[in-house]
Amino acid sequence: MAEIRSTIDLMMERTRGMTLSLDERERLRKEDLRKRARGFRIKLLQNPSAAEEILSSLNEHGAEDRKLLEKLIWEEMVESLPLDHQMLQHLDLMEKLTQASIKKPILQQIRSRFKTLLKDQAEERHKILAREKKKLAVLGISGSAVAPKIPKQTPLQADFSSDLETLKRDLLA
């Protein structure tokens, strides 16, 4: 009777001598580091008070990997920059990264433009609310419980969004 071999034995026999090329190894390494960078970004955003500790854990990696990880974390933070109330916290965390020293003027520009946007949005929102309440009062609908619906994204936010995309490109350059 012939010997019955397991699937693993067959696979081992067929793949004997096969190895990954240098390009494939490098691609897999970078892919792994990109996943780690996403993990670092998530850790930073979930626990901003431990940012120094989280970033110091980068020293556990080799010098080459650490440099690449720092670059990838920066890219992850820039690409995921939110257009809401969390932007200021996001910018604070970005300023703790090594690339921030070079890009500090751009980060400050984003911060000041966002604060201006928040101020302008509050003023615009107040004007829209007053106008809509007047319209409802003319129709006989008034009172403290009346809260008109206001569009979520204002033209001011759309303008800032396009400016932010330009600034993001500058941060990645």
Q: Based on the domain organization, do 91 and 118 belong to the same domain?
A: yes
Same domain, 94 and 173: yes
What pLDDT band is residue 153 in, cutting at 50, 70 and 90?
low
Report pLDDT for 1.
Answer: 44
The structure tokens listed for 124 are 């615009």
Same domain, 141 and 64: no
* Residue 5 resides in a domain: no
Picking from 36, 56, 80, the residue at the C-terminal end of a domain is: 80
Please give the average per-residue pLDDT across 108-121, as a whole number.
89
User: How confident is the model over 47-59, as pLDDT tens digits?
Assistant: 989 989 988 888 8
* Predicted local distance difference test score (pLDDT) of residue 154: 63
Both 76 and 103 in one domain: the answer is no
- Is residue 89 located within the same domain as residue 149? yes
If asked whether residues 163 and 117 sit together in one domain, one would say: yes
CB burial readout 80-92, b (16+ within 10 A) else e: ebeeeeebeebbe
Q: Which of 115, 61, 103 is nearest to 78 (CA)?
A: 103
Residue 35, in any domain of the structure: yes
pLDDT, tens digit (0-9, with 9 covering 90-100), for 71-92: 999 999 999 988 887 889 999 9
Number of folded domains that form the chain: 2
**Residue 38 belongs to what domain range?**
22-80
CA 40 to CA 23: how far, in whole Å? Answer: 25
Q: Are residues 65 and 107 in the same domain?
A: no
At 100, list the tokens. 């921030």
Predicted confidence band at 147 (pLDDT cuts at 50, 70, 90)?
A: confident
Tell me the whole-structure pTM to 2 decimals. Answer: 0.72
